[in-house]
Amino acid sequence: MTVLQQPEDAEASGGETDRGRAIFQELLWVHSIIRRDLKTLEQLAADVGEGLPGEEVQTALGELKTAGPLWQLKVGCLRYCSHVHAHHGAEDVLLLPALRAFDPSVGPVVDRLEADHARVSDLLDVVEAAARALTETDRDDARRRVIDGLQDLQVHLLEHLDYEERHAGPTMRRLDHLGYRVDDREG
């Protein structure tokens, strides 16, 4: 029989684990980078509204792809939008199932986080498409789509990050691993 094992120290004490605190600190670090870059995107939206040419918008987005420690760490391979997609994908596969398995009472929190991830994914796609369109045609409606997309992304993503930290953080800090650990003994 395959059995999911919960961490003994956290299960017995209901307290935080060193591993759980480390997992949460890493999440906070990634979220701080996302927040920093959202401020850059906010300024970019304002610049677009003031007439920044499409080519310069693409250049500014490109700088987000290579600037900062996370993108340097990943050898410049990730773009900002693909980073957020990847971050949420990893959470969907590793973190959220671990939270749900460790403490089923956080199911509604996990459900909301999964729904948020889908919404953020859609918003990231809108921003990328709008930026490409602005490069092709420097019209007011194309500018408006970039501005609106960036503003919608910022609002929703900041709400999501705050919600995740507040509502998933306490359970996350009690984890001793991500994913499943399996006991292969019969019984």
Distance CA 109, CA 98 (A): 13
Quick one: pLDDT band at residue 169, thresholds 50, 70, 90? very high
Output the pLDDT for position 75. 33
CATH number at residue 36: 1.20.120.520
Residue 13 inside a domain? The answer is no
Number of compact structural domains in the chain: 1
Residue 150: which domain range? 21-178
Residue 72 inside a domain? The answer is yes
Output the pLDDT for position 39. 83
The three state secondary structure string of 106-159 is: HHHHHHHHHHHHHHHHHHHHHHHHHHHHHHHCCCHHHHHHHHHHHHHHHHHHHH
What average pLDDT does this structure show over 24-49?
Answer: 84
Residue 129 inside a domain? The answer is yes
Range in 8-12, 47-51, 110-114, 178-182 with the lowest mean pLDDT: 8-12
Output the pLDDT for position 114. 92
Output the pLDDT for position 61. 72
pLDDT in tens, 152-167: 988 998 999 999 999 9
- The residue ranges of DSSP E strands in the chain, in sequence order, are 3-4, 182-183
CB 136 within 8 A of CB 54: yes
Residue 33 inside a domain? The answer is yes
Q: How many CA atoms lie within 13 A of 39 on its CB side?
A: 5
Residue 183 inside a domain? The answer is no
Q: Give the rounded percent of residues in the chain with a pLDDT score beyond 70.
A: 75
More confident residue, 14 or 106: 106
Residue 42 inside a domain? The answer is yes
What average pLDDT does this structure show over 140-147?
Answer: 81
pLDDT in tens, 50-101: 887 877 877 777 777 666 543 343 333 235 666 676 777 778 878 889 899 9
List the end-to-end C-alpha distance of the chain, in Å, as a whole number.
6
Distance CA 165, CA 148 (A): 26
Residue 1 inside a domain? The answer is no
CB 176 within 8 A of CB 101: no
Phi and psi torsions of 102, nearest 5°: -70, -40
Output the pLDDT for position 107. 95
Residue 7 inside a domain? The answer is no
